[in-house]
Structure 1
Amino acid sequence: MSELRIRGLQKSFDGVPVLHGIDLSVERGTLLALLGPSGSGKTTLLRLLCGFERADSGSVEIDGRPVAGDNLHVPSEQRRIGYVPQEGALFPHLSVADNIVFGLPRSQRRARHRVAELLELVGLPANFGERAPQQLSGGQQQRVALARALAPSPTLVMLDEPFSSLDAALRLETRQAVASALAATGATAVLVTHDQSEALSLGHEVAVLWNGRLIQTATPETLYQRPVTPELASFVGEAVLLPGVVAQARDRASCELGELPLTAPMASGAVNVMVRPEQIRVLRDSETSADGTVAYDAVVTEVTFQGQDAGVALQLQSGSQTMVRARVPGYLCPRPGERVRLSVDGNVTAYPRG
């Protein structure tokens, strides 16, 4: 498979800028999750990469070959890109096998080239080749769409929110099958999604588009633990933001949940401290924090039970009566009105407060 290089890519529609100078590199064999809220420019970027739209400026290279740039626009059918749309878009009048080989040369279509191999690759039995698409579940249809995209041995695979129409259980199963198939082929792929858990669980790297700008590209762990803005922190997961201060030590921030170690040193001054709810330990009277740090009194005001875990709203019993949210295992769920103590595990991220 190939590498992808994007430099200074810009696009406007009717004079309204949609993409502002996008720079992005995707190494060979990497699954990049392109994440962003609705209207951030994800679909536009995908369409530019596939050749469905022309860029206003900037360049795109696939495996060192320019496909977009000054006075250059290689048609989509010549870019050797596999494309998996949201709904699979299988042809209902063709069998599964004929859908898979649709984009191949005529001789390979007649021979049903690699159909059994590709079905196995995406986790489907070889005898599914004779079925009609409408005889398959939504998740199975998406796997067939991926097999069709992989059939011509593309240089790059683009996946446009391919799991968005599936229910939760089927979505998880299909994600795993698609990720395994891409890994088995060593494919370079870009997954466009607005689903944070999907991006964090599937992407080797995650690139975040925000109002048409690429604001952070990082591993899922780095993106979740050290997002570059408080807005992004709240987008990629639930975040508790508390006013605080970084003193001369520069590697710790003080807030209403104590003096907490920072993920990275920063200049002293007023900050907003970002704590993930799962970092907040809810302690009963008989418990102590794991490292012996000070715990802070709070009252449980609301509990949202979700099975394996629960969201807990708490009011700190300090002068400000600040509200925070914690996440606890379902079997340790406290009751509304219960008095507890709170401590924080691990490092936190802070942002300068203007």
Structure 2
Amino acid sequence: MSELRIRGLRKSFGGQPVLHGIDLSVERGTLLALLGPSGSGKTTLLRLLCGFERADGGSVEIDGRRVADDNLHVPSEQRRIGYVPQEGALFPHLSVADNIVFGLPRTQRRARHRVAELLELVGLPAEFGARAPQQLSGGQQQRVALARALAPAPTLVMLDEPFSSLDAALRLETRQAVASALAAAGATAVLVTHDQSEALSLGHEVAVLWNGRLIQTATPQTLYQRPVTCALASFVGEAVLLPGTAEHERVRCELGELALAAPMGAGAVDVMLRPEQIRVLRPDETIADGSAYEAVVTDVIFQGQDAGVALQLQSASRTMVRARVPGYLCPRPGEQVRVTVDGKVTAYPRG
């Protein structure tokens, strides 16, 4: 598979800028999750990479071969890119096998080239090749769509929110199967999604588009723990934000003096921590340094394996925070508890 290099890519529609000078690199064999809210430009970027749209400026290189710049637009069929759309878009009048080989040369179509191998790769039995797409579940159809995209041995695979139409249980099963198939094929892939958990669980790296600009590219762990802005912190998972004062490696807020994930200058900041960092102590539990704070449980959302707990700190400001606790330790509304913070936190200078 290939590497992808994007430099200064721009696109407008009707005079309205959609992408503002995108720079992005995807290394060979990497699954990059392209994450962003609706309207951020994700699908436009994917269409430019596939050659479905022409860029206004900038360049795209696939494995060192330039396919787009100010004076060049290589047609989509010559870019050797596999494309998996949202709904799979299988042909209902063709069998699964004929769908898989649809984009191959005629002799390979007649020979059902690699059909059994590709079905095995995406976790489906070989006998599914004789079935009609309508006889498969939604998740199975998406796997067939991936097999079709992989059949011509493309240089890159582009997946445009391929799990968005599936229910929660089927979505999890299908995305795990798709990730395994891409890894087994050694594919370089770009997954477009607005689902944060999907991006964090599937991507080797996650690139975040925000209002047509690429604002952060990082590993899933770095993106979640150290997002570059408060707004991004609230988009990538649930964030607890508290006013505080920072100085180098420490920050002080209503939950005590906490360690910073990255040193920063002294001054007023917004402190960001994740709900699972706020630990609700058991009645008999003690903290070595005594840094536990009184709070009252105001609401509980029980979700089985864990629970979201709304807490009112018993400080002068009566600040509300949210914690996430294991389901078996779920407190009751009205209960008085003590809380402490685990791990390092991120802070943002207050403007």
TM-score by structure 1 length?
Answer: 0.98
Letter in 2 for 1:212: G
Q: Provide the residue aligned with 1:282 in structure 2.
A: 280
1:346 is aligned, of 325, 331, 343, to: 343
Number of residue pairs matched?
351
Q: Provide the residue aligned with 2:196 in structure 1.
A: 196
**Counterpart mapping for 1:176-325 below 5 A:** 176-247=176-247, 250-289=248-287, 292-325=289-322
Q: SS in structure 1 opposite 2:262?
A: coil
Letter in 1 for 2:174: T
Matched, 1:50 2:50: yes
* Residues 231-271 of structure 1: CA deviation (Å, up to 9, x unaligned): 00000010000000013xx1010000000000000011000
Q: SS in structure 2 opposite 1:93?
A: coil
Deviating beyond 3 angstroms after TM superposition, the runs of 4 or more aligned structure 1 residues are: none
| Distance in 2 separating the partners of 1:216 and 1:154 | 27
TM-score by structure 2 length?
Answer: 0.99
| Distance in 1 separating the partners of 2:129 and 2:227 | 45
- Identify the range of structure 1 (292-301 vs 155-164) with the bigger mean alpha-carbon deviation: 292-301
Q: SS in structure 2 opposite 1:8?
A: strand
TM superposition shift of 1:285 = 2.8
Letter in 2 for 1:336: P
1:335 is aligned, of 332, 337, 348, to: 332
TM superposition shift of 1:199 = 0.1
**Counterpart mapping for 1:16-95 below 5 A:** 16-95=16-95
Gaps of 5+ in 1: none
**Counterpart mapping for 1:135-150 below 5 A:** 135-150=135-150
| Distance in 2 separating the partners of 1:294 and 1:83 | 53
TM superposition shift of 1:278 = 0.1
Q: SS in structure 1 opposite 2:154?
A: coil
Letter in 2 for 1:346: G
Backbone CA RMSD of aligned residues: 0.6
TM superposition shift of 1:293 = 4.5
Letter in 1 for 2:170: L
| Distance in 2 separating the partners of 1:286 and 1:292 | 15
| Distance in 1 separating the partners of 2:85 and 2:285 | 51
Contact 1:293 1:343 in 2 (8 A): no
Q: SS in structure 2 opposite 1:216?
A: strand
Q: Provide the residue aligned with 1:159 in structure 2.
A: 159
TM superposition shift of 1:284 = 3.2
TM superposition shift of 1:71 = 1.1
Contact 1:315 1:323 in 2 (8 A): yes
* Residues 171-230 of structure 1: CA deviation (Å, up to 9, x unaligned): 000011000000001100000000000000000000000000000000000000000000
Q: SS in structure 2 opposite 1:227?
A: coil
| Distance in 1 separating the partners of 2:231 and 2:86 | 27
Identical amino acids, percent of aligned pairs: 88
Q: SS in structure 1 opposite 2:182?
A: helix
| Distance in 2 separating the partners of 1:182 and 1:304 | 36
Letter in 2 for 1:22: I
Contact 1:246 1:270 in 2 (8 A): yes
Gaps of 5+ in 2: none
TM superposition shift of 1:286 = 1.4
| Distance in 2 separating the partners of 1:351 and 1:246 | 9
Q: Provide the residue aligned with 1:100 in structure 2.
A: 100
Letter in 2 for 1:287: E
